[in-house]
Amino acid sequence: MLIKLEYKISGGDFTRAGHASSEVKKNLKQLGVDPLIIRRVVVSMYEAEVNIVAHAYNGHIKVEIESHRIRIVLADKGPGIPDIEMAMREGYTTASQQVREMGFGAGMGLPNIKKNSDILNITSIVNEGTTVEIINNLQ
Amino acid sequence: MKKIVTEKVQKMKTSELIQKLNLRVFNSNQISDAEITGGYTSDLLSDVMGNAAPGQAWLTLQTHKNVAAIASLKDLSAIVLVNNNTPENDMLEAAENEGIAVLGSQLPAFELSAAIYNALQV
């Protein structure tokens, strides 16, 4: 089995944030995946999706669902992350005041992604963009 | 500690909670009378994303559309706006599409959390 899904994300468009994650959740539910695993996938994917909206100019998400695992690659064009280790620290944020007033940007996104992924790879080039790969086992 | 609290908490239908605490209902269509299994009070969206549990009612002062998206993704039972806050139109619309109750109270977060907690006790 292989299901491929793709989504385009516009930077700054919070009204659509979570749409892709919601679609993936529906797919996993239909496939009868363990709800605890679905919750992990949803948390990590949503946070990564919101990071594109909050920080990048635009991005795209590629999702591959196989019977044993789900692989989500979120690639954006944006400012990039100068220090990934620092960004992974709980409470560290570079979010704008506007984003923080919405209740985002508390420096919890990347730690949430890490906690809810079996494999997490982040690569980033400053002034070019960031790619986040999240893999979760489905069995 | 957490286990003891969980055991003491009783489930309650959304309609019962609305009646008991005289909550305002913002939904115009019929709400799903979901079972409320507890509550989570927070205005940080990533905190709710990371720490709220399915079935909980979410108490917040945030009124924008992303609240509905998170409530749906996390399978929360209801959104309860504190301190006389009212939902933005697109938030209410998104919640209605997902069948999530959007409720409100004049109480601030601390008092409303206590009231819901007490209402859920056996």
Which residues in chain A are closer than 8 Å to B45, comparing Cβ atoms?
50, 102-104, 106
Helix (H, G, I), strand (E, B) or coil at A95: coil
CA-to-CA distance for B101 and B23, rounded, in angstroms? 11
Q: What is the pLDDT of residue B9?
A: 59
Q: What is the pLDDT of residue B93?
A: 96
Q: What is the pLDDT of residue B10?
A: 75
Alpha carbon separation from B60 to A19, A68, A111, B23, B118 (Å, rounded): 22, 37, 22, 14, 18
Residue-wise pLDDT for B39-48, tens only, equals 999 999 999 9
- B61, B60, B71: which is closest to B95 by C-alpha? B71
Neighbouring C-alpha atoms within 13 Å toward the C-beta of B51:
14
Q: What is the pLDDT of residue B1?
A: 52
Shortest distance between the Cα of A72 and any Cα of chain B, in A, equals 17
Tell me the β-bridge partners of B104: B24, B81
Is residue A104 within 8 A of residue A50, CB to CB? The reply is yes
Residue-wise pLDDT for A72-130, tens only, equals 999 999 999 999 999 999 999 999 999 999 999 999 999 999 999 999 999 999 999 99
Read off the pLDDT of each residue in A34-39 and give the average, rounded to a whole number: 96
Residue-wise pLDDT for B2-13, tens only, equals 555 555 557 899
- Tokens linked to B95: 């919640």
Of A18, A47, A106, the CB nearest to B44: A106
Q: What does CATH list as the number for B22-119? A: 3.40.1390.20
Q: What is the pLDDT of residue B30?
A: 79
Do residue A39 and residue B74 have CB atoms under 8 angstroms apart?
yes
CA-to-CA distance for B37 and A119, rounded, in angstroms? 32
Give the residue from chain B lying closest to A40, CA to CA.
Answer: B50
Give the residue from chain B lying closest to A42, CA to CA.
Answer: B73
Q: What is the pLDDT of residue B3?
A: 52
CA-to-CA distance for A14 and B16, rounded, in angstroms? 34
Residue-wise pLDDT for B22-41, tens only, equals 999 999 887 878 999 999 99
Cβ pairs A/B, distance under 8 A: 63
Burial of A27 (0-12, 13-18, 19+ CB in 10 A): middle
In A1-139 the beta strands, taken as DSSP E runs, fall at: 2-10, 58-66, 69-77, 119-125, 129-137
Is residue B111 within 8 A of residue B83, CB to CB? The reply is no
Do residue A112 and residue B72 have CB atoms under 8 angstroms apart?
no
Domain boundaries of chain B, sorted by first residue? 22-119
A43 touches chain B (CB under 8 A): yes
What is the model's pTM? Answer: 0.92
- Tokens linked to B47: 């905190």
Helix (H, G, I), strand (E, B) or coil at A99: helix
- Tokens linked to B49: 């994303």
> How many other CB atoms sit within 10 Å of the CB of residue A117?
22
Of B49, B62, B72, the CB nearest to A43: B49
Is residue A54 within 8 A of residue A128, CB to CB? The reply is no
- B16, B80, B93, B86: which is closest to B42 by C-alpha? B80
Read off the pLDDT of each residue in B66-81 and give the average, rounded to a whole number: 97
Tell me, what's the ipTM? 0.92
